[in-house]
Structure 1
Amino acid sequence: METWVLPALLGLGLAAASGFRTFLPLLMLSGAAHFELLGIDLNSSFDWVGSTGALVALAIATVVELLADLIPVVDNVLSVVGNVTRPIAAVIAAGAVFASLDPSTAAIAGLIIGAPTALAISGAQTSLRGASTVGTAGVANPVISVLEDIVSFVLSLIAMLLPILVPVLLGLLIWGVWRLTTRFRRKPSPA
């Protein structure tokens, strides 16, 4: 049972975190695998994720993504582009954590868990970003960006430390994004 349950929850958490940031969850997974932290083992076909080259490349990509997301207009472009890149990153992250499965089964599990999860979160994030841009003329976007960074980091960390908490966190996350989106979309009442 542990062969599927814990990796599935870990993959789900990393995929959800990838729905906010393409590279941050992969960087954290890469660091954990590279430095042999938190008992994270990767599937043999995904060993490259923990390599020094991948760690350096992901660190650079993460810094660029986090900084670029603070720039007006660029943040909205990244959000739209993320609807493609984030599910790909999620498939890699989710598939990589199925260490005890054969590579093809791990890749399929990553696809089943990673892509829909990241796409749903990324779509909600894009909707929230659009509502924020319209509702606040983009003034709130940098604050939302930093909050998304924090959520992506914390969700990745909790997924690696206590994957059993991932479903609860995702429920809270969905509720929070829904509340924020409806708040930004609410039209002011006529005076």
Structure 2
Amino acid sequence: MDTWVLPALLGLGLAAASGFRTFLPLLMLSIAAHFNLFGIDLSHSFAWVGSTGALVALAIAAVVELLADLIPFVDNALSLVGNVSGPVAGAIAAGSAFSSHDPTTAAIAGIIVGAPTALAFSTAQTGVRAASTATTAGVANPIVSVIEDVVTFLTSLIALIAPILIPIVLGAIGWVAWRGYQRFRRRTAAV
């Protein structure tokens, strides 16, 4: 990944996924780096992401986050916390994608690509969670959570395997979100 395009797309995909779940995309990146999968090669300054300690810590954090997000009302608190932790994770994931650049450039690129992308997706996810809680009293939140988990996993996997497909994936997520928003507005306007 010697150019800016593939690292930017990889970072964009991982950052978008970090907007839904903070730790799962970082865990997947850590696994890929630790086991040398998908050609992921981290620079010296981001090598810690692929370390055994990071792999274990991220695995524990991801499991706790995924399970806690299934509990109504706890999931809303996680969504709010995710508006801070998601952009940080997105910046780390995106910065680590720029392995062939110097550490300062990689960090700046990570902040420029990762943080705003993760924040945008995290904010949208928080809105969906609030709407789900308001309309179903939290009953549908676990279903929404599982859908978000699957989207996070698939987006991260596609970003790692074929980052060139990330614009299509993000466009599809945006289209589905827009359609859901339109349906929600029509239902609330009818009531």
Interval of TM-score (by shorter of Structure 1 and Structure 2): over 0.9
Partner of 2:27: 27
2-structure distance, mates of 1:89, 1:184: 30
Q: Which residue of 1 aligns with 2:163?
A: 163
TM-score for the superposition, normalised by structure 1: 0.96
Alignment partners' CA distance in 2, 1:114 and 1:188? 36
CA distance in 1, matches of 2:88, 2:190: 42
Q: Displacement of 1:184 after TM fit?
A: 3.4
Shift of 1:135: 1.3
For residue 48 of structure 2, what is the amino acid of its counterpart? Answer: W
Q: Does 1:66 align with 2:66?
A: yes
Distance 1:2 1:113 in 2: 17
- Matched residue type, 1:76: N
Aligned residue in 1 for 2:85: 85
Q: SS of the counterpart of 2:72? A: coil
TM-score of the superposed pair, with normalisation by structure 2: 0.96
The residue identity in structure 1 corresponding to 2:28 is: M
Residue number in structure 2 paired with 1:100: 100
Gap runs ≥5 in structure 1: none
**Counterpart contact for 1:127–1:181, Cα < 8 Å:** no
**Partner letter of residue 160 of structure 2?**
M
Aligned residues: 190
Q: Report deviation, 1:30.
A: 0.2
**Cα contact 2:17–2:153 (8 A) shared by 1:** yes
Q: Deviations over 1:59-102 (max 9, x none)?
A: 00000000000001100000011000000000000000111000
Identity of matched residues, %: 71
Asked if the contact 1:86–1:122 (Cα under 8 Å) also holds between the matched residues in 2, the reply is: yes
* Cα displacement (A) at 1:139: 1.3
Bigger proportion of residues as helix: 2
